[in-house]
Amino acid sequence: MSPRRRFLRTLRPEDYENPSPIYCVWEITLACDLGCKHCGSRAGKARPNELSTRECLDVVDQLASIGVRETTLIGGEAYLREDWTEIAAALVERGIACSVVTGARNLTQERIDAAARAGVSSISISIDGLRKTHDALRGPRGSWDAAVDAARRVAASPIRLAANTQINRLSMPELPALADLMVELGVAGWQVQLTVPMGRAADRPDLLLQPSDLLELFPLLLWIKRTKLAPRDIDLAPGNNIGYFSPFDRLLRWRSEEKGNHWNGCSAGKWTLGLEADGKIKGCPSLPSHLYTGGNIRDAQIADVIKNAPELIHIEERTRQDLWGYCKSCYYADVCKAGCTWTAHTLLGKAGNNPYCIYRALDFESRGLQERIRPREKAPGEPFDFGRYDLVVEPISTAKETPKILDLAMDRVTSASFTDPSLWEEEEINARLGRWTQK
């Protein structure tokens, strides 16, 4: 079993008092040895004019000076950059924990050893289904075998092994089997997040879950956490677009059992930072670059950008008045602020209204309704691009049938029990688990 660790990105009381990025996700190259069909950045070739080693080391100094405690190196594929371990070692030397997210197509033993020598504390390997599904999503045949083999090598190293999975209509039915694989591999943590219509995923609308699919997804994830992962002391880490509120979210979110530890709105630019390989500074690495870039490292200091750039600080300053649609009138609007900015913007063309929300799906269901997304405009075909979707509200009884992801019967929550979410009891949650609790 890979060693566990305390996440330095976990918010502390002082972080709430003086918000500033403590966690950075840094794309150090856009070069990639995979061709993932859900890649938001359409990675493949290196960006023109990517930062030099000297410039990257200056970035490390700047991250340390603003108080960043943890940085994740990504791509593209981070290890395709020759100086990736030099950058990692510099982060560690400045007291910043360094982790890596990888597709692991060519994560050799030599590269793992080099990462360990550099002080990399965690490697998260992307596994998006069983062999056939993973290879279909990731591109080259053999990608699944390469990722699983690399995971075994990381597990045998001093580096903590983690995994990450995108949830979509191909991968969701395989989540229980993937959970078994996580146990077999000995991962310490498993992050799951929804596939979002950005980049290549924007070209494949049939890959996306529908908002009403969350009614099946959340009970499934809770069942997996309780029956497969928790007994083996494996953390399940739902990404920022798997939410929000409701008892399911409370029971799924990491450390959410602690008083006051709940979703506190999009952290982009507030507690997180995203950097691109050519120097662009964003509040979150996933946000559309042309709309959310606040500056470039070659022209500005990171400290100045996070304090003054409207593209970063406007998310932190968002209020209920900036929301629209269902989210503006939601009971949790002042705290939630429409959930994940990345998900909402790439779906509907602007932030402030996010249909991928379990509270919202349950509310519509209690009134006999469901929401459905419908493609309207195609994406132009550029990194971090997106198209446009229409959002349709329709009666469940007359809704157009779509293929069920899971053939499971689930008890419904009545409108009476839903009027006040605080009235939910454990037996109601277990009832919603449906057949999963019987396995």
Q: Which residues pair with 23 in a beta bridge?
A: 70, 272
The string of pLDDT tens digits covering residues 162-188 is: 999 999 999 999 999 999 999 999 999
Mean pLDDT over each residue of the chain, to the nearest integer: 86
Give residue 269's pLDDT: 87
**Is the pLDDT score of 392 beyond 90?**
yes
For residue 374, the tally of other CB atoms under 10 A from its CB is: 10
**Is the pLDDT score of 71 beyond 50?**
yes
Give residue 12's pLDDT: 66
Give residue 259's pLDDT: 47
Helical segments of 34-83, H only: 53-65
Give residue 315's pLDDT: 87
* CA–CA gap between residue 367 and residue 396 (Å, rounded): 9
User: Across the chain, how many H-helices and E-strands are there?
Assistant: 18, 12
Spatial CB neighbours of 386, under 8 Å, sequence gap ≥ 6:
197, 198, 199, 202, 288, 345, 346, 347, 349, 379
Least confident of 62-71, 175-184, 228-237, 242-251: 242-251
Q: Which two tokens stand for residue 170?
A: 């191909």
Asked if residues 382 and 269 have their Cβ atoms less than 8 Å apart, the reply is no
For residue 290, the tally of other CB atoms under 10 A from its CB is: 11
**Is the pLDDT score of 90 beyond 50?**
yes
Residues forming CATH 3.20.20.70 domain(s) in the chain: 20-316
* CA–CA gap between residue 154 and residue 238 (Å, rounded): 22
Asked if residues 418 and 363 have their Cβ atoms less than 8 Å apart, the reply is yes
- Of 3.20.20.70, 1.50.10.20, 3.40.50.1240, 1.10.1790.20, the CATH number of 20-316 is 3.20.20.70
Task: Band the pLDDT of 243: cuts 50, 70, 90.
Answer: confident
75: nearest Cα among 99, 102, 56: 102
**Is the pLDDT score of 401 beyond 60?**
no
5: nearest Cα among 69, 73, 81: 69
For residue 169, the tally of other CB atoms under 10 A from its CB is: 17
The string of pLDDT tens digits covering residues 31-47 is: 999 999 999 999 999 99
pTM for this prediction: 0.88
* CA–CA gap between residue 381 and residue 34 (Å, rounded): 17
Asked if residues 212 and 404 have their Cβ atoms less than 8 Å apart, the reply is no
Please classify residue 400 by burial: count the beta carbons closer than 10 Å to its beta carbon, then call 0-12 exposed, 13-18 middle and 19+ buried: exposed
**Is the pLDDT score of 161 beyond 90?**
yes
For range 122-146, the mean pLDDT: 93
The string of pLDDT tens digits covering residues 196-207 is: 999 999 999 989
For range 360-380, the mean pLDDT: 94
* Degrees, nearest 5: CA angle 101-102-108: 130
Task: Band the pLDDT of 413: cuts 50, 70, 90.
Answer: very low
Percent of the chain with pLDDT over 70: 85
DSSP codes of every residue in 108-156: -HHHHHHHHHHT--EEEEE--SSHHHHHHHHSSTTHHHHHHHHHHHHHT
Can you say how many angstroms the Cα of residue 243 is from the centroid of all Cα atoms in its chain?
11
**Is the pLDDT score of 140 beyond 90?**
no
Give residue 403's pLDDT: 43
**β-pairing verdict for 369-377 and 388-395:** antiparallel
For range 62-90, the mean pLDDT: 97
The string of pLDDT tens digits covering residues 379-391 is: 999 889 999 999 9
Spatial CB neighbours of 110, under 8 Å, sequence gap ≥ 6:
none
The string of pLDDT tens digits covering residues 49-68 is: 999 999 999 999 999 999 99
| Residue 50 φ then ψ, to 5° | -70, 155
* CA–CA gap between residue 109 and residue 113 (Å, rounded): 6
Give residue 215's pLDDT: 92
* CA–CA gap between residue 350 and residue 57 (Å, rounded): 35
**Is the pLDDT score of 77 beyond 60?**
yes
Least confident of 13-27, 43-57, 397-411: 397-411
Task: Band the pLDDT of 19: cuts 50, 70, 90.
Answer: confident
For range 257-266, the mean pLDDT: 67
Task: Band the pLDDT of 7: cuts 50, 70, 90.
Answer: low
Give residue 332's pLDDT: 93
DSSP codes of every residue in 257-301: TSTT-S--S--BTTTEEEE-TTSEEESSTTS-HHHHEEEETTTS-
